[in-house]
Amino acid sequence: MSVRIVIISDTHGNHDFHVPEGDILIHAGDFTRRGTMDELHLFDAFLRRLPHPHKFVIAGNHDHCAQENYQPGQPLLENAVYLCDSSAVACGLRIYGSPWQPWFMNGAFNLLKKKALREKWDLIPEGIDILITHTPPYDILDRTQFGWRVGCGELRAAVERISPRLHVFGHIHEAYGRIRKGTTEFVNAALCNLRYRIVNAPVIVDLEK
């Protein structure tokens, strides 16, 4: 029996696009453009309209409202489970989400030192089926329009250690796509282009339970 997972990321306040039905909806960060609470509330209303029985969200570098207002034990969203260095279980699948990335302009959830990033990824437990991060791992769907690889090397090492069945991320809009390496399916689900217009479709992945 398979579980249908619908994956989106980097929607940046855009809510006028088709989201396929599925068992689990995942948003891998940058649900706002300016990082305001008003945008967060509009995003939450968008989530309420979606039929998926399980919805999971992490924040991205645009989502300052999440970094400034989230407190553990208090829900950030009413219509989805917000993951921040935390895990959940849905449809028999173990899911972990974390928003951090190597320093990127003046973004939220930035970490400058490799050691600080490594400490965050060391929190990911063994046995995770689905890993959600905002940043890509290094050299996997992380190439910018200038040809630079900007993913996180420390995350790449953690993924190789954990070997999740599915690793979901976004952040680098122009690197949208999916690829399999070993036993892990990698998905960059950034829907917006560099002009913050929705140009890509949600990604559907079917995982066997």
The predicted pLDDT at position 106 comes to 87
Q: What is the pLDDT of residues 25-58, one digit of tens each?
A: 999 999 999 999 999 999 999 999 999 999 999 9
The predicted pLDDT at position 104 comes to 85
Domains of the chain: 2-208 (3.60.21.10)
- Contact, 39 vs 87, CB < 8 A? no
The predicted pLDDT at position 169 comes to 98
Q: Which residues contact 59 (CB under 8 A, 6 or more apart)?
A: 29, 30, 31, 66, 67, 70, 82, 84, 99, 108, 109, 134
Helix (H) or strand (E) holding 208: strand 203-208
The predicted pLDDT at position 183 comes to 96
* Six token digits for residue 197: 């217009």
Q: Which residues contact 137 (CB under 8 A, 6 or more apart)?
A: 151, 152, 153, 155, 156, 159, 167, 169, 186
Per-residue pLDDT of the chain (209 residues; tens, 9 = 90+): 899 999 999 999 999 999 999 999 999 999 999 999 999 999 999 999 999 999 999 999 999 999 999 988 889 999 999 999 999 999 999 999 999 999 988 899 999 999 999 999 999 999 999 999 999 999 999 999 999 999 999 999 999 999 999 999 999 999 999 999 999 999 999 999 999 999 999 999 999 98
pTM of the model: 0.97
Q: What is the pLDDT of residues 95-111, one digit of tens each?
A: 999 999 999 888 999 99
